[in-house]
Each structure stands twice: as C-alpha cells, then as structure tokens.
Structure 1
C-alpha cells in the first residue's frame, strides 16, 4: 500500500450527553479530506481509541469509510486484549476499511514469540501497521520477523529512539524491501521530522491536521518559521498536562467551529487559559 502526504488522525466527537456524534465525525472527516491527506486513521490514539466501546469503534470506522468514499485509504485502530482486537479488526473489515493500526496489548506483556502470535492473528484479517510504543519495542531482528508476517505492512514509531528506529529501518529494508512502510508517530510529529527524514522515514501522523489542516499542509510543503513559531510552542503547551496530545486537538477542533464535545476519562479537557493560548498559536500559524 502506497501512502504519501500527511496522515489524518481525526478526533472522535461526542455529544453533551456522552454518545458518539456520528454526524459531527462525518463533517470533521469531510473537512479534512478537502485538504487531501494521504490516509484517514479513524478511532486511533487521537480518536480516543481506549475510551471507545466496540460498538462505538465500529460505528466510527463505518462513518470514516462512508465519508472517504474510497478517495483515500481508511485505517482503523485495533488492539488491547486479543479478543477485542480481533473483534475490532473484523468490524473494520466489514465496514470496508483498508487496514489497521495495531495498538499494544495493554497490561499483558509476553515474549516476542507471544507478540508475534498476537500480530499474526490480527493481521490475518486486514493489512496491519504495528504501533511501536509502550510494551511494544521490538529489536531490529524482531521487527524483521514481524515484517515477514503476512498482512503486516508497516511500523509506526511512537518511541522516538532514533538509534533504534534507524537500525530497524536498515534491517527491514535489507531483508524485506523498500515497500514496507515506516512513519513517525510521535505526538506533534512535525517537530521531529527533520531527524526522521534523515534516516529515510518520510511519513508521519499529524495531529495538527485534525484542527488546522492548512497549517499542516503548509509545513509539509516547507516552512521553517512554522517549526519555530508554531510547532515548538505547541509542543511546550502540549507538555504541560498528561493527555494534552489529545485534549488540545479536540479543543482545536472546537475552536474551528465544530463541536466535538469533551474528551473522555481518564483524559481531561484543556484548561481555559490553555485553550486561549492554543487559539493564539493557531492564529499565528495561519498568519505564517
């Protein structure tokens, strides 16, 4: 699967009473599609994957597929307990999704052989990108074995260990080939893309695309001032509170005039003063 450009990770909107707001999600994704992302990753980290029921997850993926109408690939989050991951993968397949972003199996940490079996079971359902973070930190040799699993098409790095990801990229491309996908999955990935491009990783997930796609697209086309005057201050703001990597994105969507509702526990909504700072940053980023 050939992915290019900015990868769009939409939020999952909720109503004031806490239900999934499918119509708002469709509008949110539709607005993003106007800026031509390389793919849509629904019900993933920015979409509060751990807070969704299986029914909500399935509904969010259906909305994403229906809204995209085949114009770009749609990936769905999957992971956690094996039974849940298999159910999420099957629901995504039935909805017409093109692939999965496989989150770590929370709490349980087995051997590399055990994780290989976990991946094999899920990747048999849909093409799968493995998310390297938390308990999932394969060695380059283990990454090669994972890349050999039928259906595994890529690795998203959420760790930020440049030495490890460089050795992993070299090992997988040597043993598997250049078609295997790698992308930078760190929060506010634009800040670190200079380092990732230096080791041959061009793809990245963009949280900013969810609330300011014109800024994210301008950065993709090259803007040093955006890096220093928008992204670096945004990362400082994001680092103030655990979970702001999602909460600020949802606040940004609301600032854009789309009521995406609150985040769900254990996340907390951004404080009013931080939302005001975000609004100032967005205005400045657009002026650049």
Structure 2
C-alpha cells in the first residue's frame, strides 16, 4: 500500500498472519463487585485467554467496555495487555468519541506500546461521509500508530469514502459491523491491495460463512472471551470446510446465544461477561448503563453454554 512506512507494513503483515491463524480476541475488562477496575483479575483472565493463541488481541474495545473506562483505567488495561502479550501477537487498542478525545486515548495507547488502534464509532452525532473521513484524518495526524476504522451504527462508508480513508497513510483496514454484504463487496473491490478487512458483526461466527464469500474470512469473536474452546473449534471447522461441524455449532450454540442476546439492549456484552462468570472467571459485573442478566436469562445462558461446551468436549471449569 502506497505511503506505508516499514513499521506500519510490519504491523499489517503481523495482523494478516494473525487473522489467518486464529480468531481476533476482544477481552473483557474486569471490575470488582463495587464497580472498580480489577487489574489483577484482568491480567489473570487475559493470560488464560492469550494462552489459546488468538490471532490478535483488542483491549478496551466494545466487549471491553471502552465507553465505561476513564483515562487512567484505560492506561492500566492497555499497558497490562501489552505486557502479557509480550510481542507474541499484535495488540490493537480501542479509541473513540470525537477526534480530540480519541487522540487522548491514542496517545495513552502509544505510550503503553500498542501496535495499532481500532477507531470505534463516534457517539450520538449523525455526520456526512466527508466528516467521517475528516475524523480519521484528524486522529491519524495526531498519532504514529496505524488505524483500523470500525463501521457500525452511525459510521458507514461508500466505495468513494473507503478510497478516501485508504489514502490516509496510516489507515490500514476496516472492521465491518453492518453485515450489508452487497456494500461490503463494493468496499473490498474499491480498496487498494493489502488493505485489511474483517467481520465485526455481533457474534460474528453467525455470519462468518457469508462474509467469506465476499473475501472477508477473518472475524472477531466475543465467544473467545468466555469459551475459547468453542470459538477455536468453530474457526478450525470454517477453515477446514467442515460444514457439518460449523452447522451444528451454529444451530445448537450460536443461534440460541444470539436469540438470547437480542432480548435486551447491551446483552452483546452483558451475556459475554455473565458466561465468563459461569466459567469461574473473575470478570465481575458490567458497568452502567449496561445491566447484568436476571435469573431467567442467566439460567438460559447456562444451558446454552453447557450445550456448546459439550459439543466440543469441554467442561464448565476451564483447565
């Protein structure tokens, strides 16, 4: 890709290799029962998660409750992730809000040693595409780290917009959460060679086969945060073309999980955290405005989790 520095090329190559070898992991941020950040529990959970060899790790993003963290907490989370990853896989930290606030987080991530940044959709404001492009230009101008744009909610690019952001020398890829495959195919065709794409739909495994048909086989996995055995089994089956295994996992685990997720706003994170607690992981509760599931939904989640683990021959308590 034109204009890339050698340093950014190395990040792109590491991410491309990781995307081909495993799911992209989005860790949960651990809180105490009182709602305080719990750094020791975060480090323990992350170390166990990274031991399963995901393709890359994305701390303090949507699953990690970026919007609930202050700057000091964010620094703690990203620094711990870089230390535990120890160069074994790329660390892509989340940044967001308006460009001025995003840059405050970007500089913290840069100081902590992150490899790249995922630019989360901005909050509340509806904006034209020219403004979306300018937002990325402003962030890129203030940090040396390469950027991955995340289109979801109010952020959606046309092929023209994609070409514009790809001309920003440090924008290296796009995470898609809209699941509009017609639009996504047009974007992949408009992108320059080497531009990275990955499936960032909620519970991305559900749509992984469809995304692969338009040339986007890599995906993020929230399930990896609480059941890496299931996430890795699905990834391996997809890569091997084992349609029977993929179909069984989707039908008996992922679809029921998505149906439960869709009952309550915010369950895309709340259920992941609750499932991690069911497995004995000390991640604590979600922070407001998210809410933890009530008894009925928790019981349903427990049944779904047990079914998924049984499908891959795993037990409730991880080894």
Q: What does residue 132 of structure 1 align with? A: 151
Could you tell me which of 59, 77, 102 is aligned with 2:94?
77
Paired with 1:193 and 1:214, the residues of 2 have a C-alpha distance of: 17
Alignment partner of 1:35 is 2:52: yes
Paired with 1:108 and 1:55, the residues of 2 have a C-alpha distance of: 26
Q: What does residue 220 of structure 1 align with? A: 235
Q: What does residue 159 of structure 1 align with? A: 178
Q: What does residue 217 of structure 2 align with? A: 202
Alignment partner of 1:231 is 2:254: yes
TM-superposed deviation, 1:55 = 1.5
Paired with 1:81 and 1:170, the residues of 2 have a C-alpha distance of: 29
User: Between Structure 1 and Structure 2, how many residues are aligned?
Assistant: 284
Asked whether the equivalents of residues 104 and 131 of structure 1 are also in contact (C-alpha less than 8 Å), the reply is: yes
Alignment partner of 1:180 is 2:195: yes
Q: What does residue 270 of structure 1 align with? A: 293
SS in structure 1 opposite 2:58?
strand
Asked whether the equivalents of residues 103 and 139 of structure 2 are also in contact (C-alpha less than 8 Å), the reply is: yes
SS in structure 1 opposite 2:64?
coil
Q: What does residue 187 of structure 2 align with? A: 168
The Cα offsets for residues 52-79 of structure 1, whole Å up to 9 and x where unpaired, read as: 1121112111111111111110111101
SS in structure 1 opposite 2:45?
helix
Q: What does residue 258 of structure 1 align with? A: 281
Paired with 2:126 and 2:108, the residues of 1 have a C-alpha distance of: 25
TM-superposed deviation, 1:108 = 3.0
TM-superposed deviation, 1:109 = 3.4
Q: What does residue 84 of structure 2 align with? A: 67
Q: What does residue 226 of structure 2 align with? A: 211
Give the superposed CA RMSD: 1.1
SS in structure 1 opposite 2:118?
strand
Paired with 1:60 and 1:285, the residues of 2 have a C-alpha distance of: 29
TM-superposed deviation, 1:105 = 2.2
TM-superposed deviation, 1:276 = 1.8
TM-superposed deviation, 1:258 = 1.4
Q: What does residue 49 of structure 1 align with? A: 66
Could you tell me which of 144, 148, 159 is aligned with 2:167?
148
TM-score, scaled to structure 2: 0.87
Asked whether the equivalents of residues 6 and 220 of structure 1 are also in contact (C-alpha less than 8 Å), the reply is: yes
Asked whether the equivalents of residues 120 and 150 of structure 1 are also in contact (C-alpha less than 8 Å), the reply is: no
Q: What does residue 108 of structure 1 align with? A: 125
SS in structure 2 opposite 1:42?
coil
Q: What does residue 39 of structure 2 align with? A: 22
**Structure 1: any 5+ residue segments left out of the alignment?**
none
Paired with 2:132 and 2:50, the residues of 1 have a C-alpha distance of: 34
Paired with 2:76 and 2:100, the residues of 1 have a C-alpha distance of: 18
TM-superposed deviation, 1:120 = 1.6
